[in-house]
Structures are given as structure tokens and as C-alpha cells.
Amino acid sequence: MAGTFPFGYVTYVEGVPEKVRHALTDPGLTAAHWGHRHVFDRQPGSRREHRRTDGSRIADVEGRWWRAVRPRGR
């Protein structure tokens, strides 16, 4: 697309790896804690949105899901 550029970020969160992964990817948990639902199907290249929970269906953040690295022990 014209006028777009690739962007990525990495987030480090201290906690039990499996619980952190679940909290960041479960739509119900993101809705309860952030006021938006993390909507995606976890397939590489698929659409990913942070959609508001107010019924407006507005996505404040949109992008593509590229990959997630499985949690590893410390």
C-alpha cells in the first residue's frame, strides 16, 4: 500500500510465560482489562485488530499477525 511502512514491536512482560501469553491473546481478557478485544486468528499474515468493546466495532489498532514465540522457561 502506498504511504505505509512495516512496523513491529517486542514487549517483555515479567510473569509466568503461559499466563502472560494467555492474557495477551485471549479476547475476553483483553476486553475485560483494556476496553478492547484482541481479534485475530493466529495464522501468519492474517488481519489483527484491537476492536472497541462499546459495540461500535471500531478498531483503534489494525495490523497483521506474523508470529508468536511459544513461552520458554526462565
Q: pTM (2 decimals)?
A: 0.58
* pLDDT attached to residue 48: 87
Domain range summary for the chain, segments of one domain joined by +: 17-65
What integer is the mean pLDDT of 10-22?
Answer: 81
- The better pLDDT of the pair 28, 3 is held by 28
Q: Is the pLDDT of residue 7 over 80?
A: no
DSSP, collapsed to helix, strand or coil, labels residue 65 as strand
* pLDDT attached to residue 26: 85
The phi, psi pair for 29, rounded to 5°, reads: -70, -40
Q: Is the pLDDT of residue 74 over 70?
A: no
Q: Measure Cα distances from 66 to 9, 54, 63, 69 in Å.
A: 11, 27, 9, 10
* pLDDT attached to residue 71: 65
